[in-house]
Amino acid sequence: MKILSVNAGSSSLKFTLFEMPAKEVIASGVFEKIGLGDSFYTIKYSGEKLRKEKNLFDHSIAVNTLIEELISLQIISSLEEIEGVGHRIVHGGSEFLESVIMNEELVQKLALCNDLAPLHNPAHIMGIKAFMGAMPNTPQICVFDTAFHSTMKEKEYLYPLPYEWYEKYQVRKYGFHGTSHRFITKTLSEYLNRNDLKIISCHIGNGGSVTAIDSNKVVDTSMGFTPLAGIMMGTRCGDIDASILSYVSKKTGKNLDELTNDLNKASGLLGVSGISSDSRDVEQAAEEGNPRAILAQEMYAQKIANYIAMYNNLLNGADVIAFTAGVGENSKHMRELVISKIASLGVKIDVSKNDFRGEFRLITSDDSKIPVYVVPTDEELMIAIDTMNLVLNNN
Ligand code: ADP
């Protein structure tokens, strides 16, 4: 069966078409600058790459164009071949605790989470509505970044703030990258043939989060009410003292929104290094001896190591640690630096095993107390798996 995995942003729409259950990618692509005038799209299929410019006035035009192209490129022969569409949704609030088949009523319920993710959820809803309009007989499934974290207990997800902020305004930790952490958990559980693994999953990309998992359930995760919290990231600061905001506001005259924007977009690797948010650029500058790049890398690795040590304690000893996402999968240097900072846990890297990028591999020596794996993540595939399962169960 063919399943379409979709990630709709405010001005973009990414898709991957899978043959399931074979997990084979038939086509993938992205529609960019939707509603911005100079829009275009690219589609990759059977070794070909198509790029076209077209005025994509809104998401429904992008979706209709996608369907027309899939048929005219003979990737599918009719729309009915696609048996389900899975949508990535950043925020499911406290309402959506697992993937669901959408209907009009649930779309309205999802819209109630818009305040919690104002940059993402309204765009996802535009995507869902566009597909519902173009493919009214095809099940539309939503897969939430927050859902995997819904097993966190109150003592983990509550902030030590006035309790009524939680009761009245839903201020609590939600966690993100859940679809990725769930994929890592599934992959390691299947590979090691165990359902009771205690895993520390480190998703280190442009955004980053560390999650503690016990027996397939999240115990705690580093991101919080928003993706701003936790470890240091490409442009986000991670955990900081909240009083900095009022202090810098008084010093600079910037308001809260402007400062929050700085915490999200001008901090992290970019803020400290002053060079780039891209870890490759920072790595290169560090190799050339740039002191702020070296400092940024040291801080970046230390924050990840601190979370690993904290979660090892929370889990009462982890069985396995995993690195994933852009940096985790590709930067042997960053993996080595992080592991050097958790030596007290008895974790020992094998430098020769660590010398690669982008594959599933064990990178620790035989006498390492906790094995560390690199596990390439695949959120699109995880969305397609959920979509397939819900479609099959619904028939
Ligand atoms: P996003 O959070 O946007 O999905 P990714 O998971 O794609 O981000 O990660 C992007 C990060 O991965 C960038 O900082 C990039 O520099 C880093 N990255 C990709 N390839 C390499 C590499 N070969 N070496 C070091 N870092 C890499």
Cα distances (Å, whole numbers) of residue 106 to 59, 88, 103, 113: 20, 15, 5, 11
* Closest protein CA for atom 3 of ligand 1: 206
Cβ of 184 closer than 6 Å to ligand 1, yes or no, is no
Active site residue 214: no
CA distance between the termini of the chain: 13
Cβ of 278 closer than 6 Å to ligand 1, yes or no, is yes
Q: Tokens 């996802």 map to which residue?
A: 124
Q: What is the mean pLDDT of residues 48-77?
A: 96
Cα of 277 vs centre of ligand 1, distance in Å, is 10
Atom of ligand 1 at shortest range from CA of 377: 6
User: What's the pLDDT score for residue 37?
Assistant: 86
* Closest protein CA for atom 1 of ligand 1: 206
Residue 192 reports pLDDT greater than 90: yes
Q: Tokens 């905001």 map to which residue?
A: 245
User: What's the pLDDT score for residue 395?
Assistant: 80
- What is the residue-wise DSSP string for 242-274? THHHHHHHHHH---HHHHHHHHHHS-HHHHHHS
Q: What is the mean pLDDT of residues 98-118?
A: 94
User: What's the pLDDT score for residue 333?
Assistant: 98
Closest to 161 in 3D by CA, of 175, 173, 150: 173
Quick one: what percent of the chain has pLDDT higher than 90? 97
Cβ of 235 closer than 6 Å to ligand 1, yes or no, is no
Determine if the pTM surpasses 0.75.
Answer: yes
Cα of 353 vs centre of ligand 1, distance in Å, is 20
Q: What is the CATH number of domain 194-379?
A: 3.30.420.40
Cα distances (Å, whole numbers) of residue 73 to 18, 50, 78, 313: 16, 10, 11, 54
Query: Domain limits of the chain?
Result: 2-144, 194-379
pLDDT tens for 199-244 read 999 999 999 999 999 999 999 999 999 999 999 999 999 999 999 9
pLDDT tier at 161 (50, 70, 90 boundaries)? very high
User: What's the pLDDT score for residue 118?
Assistant: 86
Cβ of 298 closer than 6 Å to ligand 1, yes or no, is no
Residue 134 reports pLDDT greater than 90: yes
Q: What is the mean pLDDT of residues 132-160?
A: 97
Instruction: Tell me the residue length of the chain.
Output: 395
Q: Which residues contact 108 (CB under 8 A, 6 or more apart)?
A: none
Q: What is the mean pLDDT of residues 54-82?
A: 95
pLDDT tens for 357-378 read 999 999 999 999 999 999 999 9
Residue 119 reports pLDDT greater than 90: no
Domains 2-144 and 194-379 share a fold: yes
pLDDT tens for 164-183 read 999 999 999 999 999 999 99
Q: What is the CATH number of domain 2-144?
A: 3.30.420.40
Closest to 148 in 3D by CA, of 56, 217, 59: 217
* Closest protein CA for atom 2 of ligand 1: 206
Closest to 263 in 3D by CA, of 293, 242, 278, 279: 242
Atom of ligand 1 at shortest range from CA of 269: 14
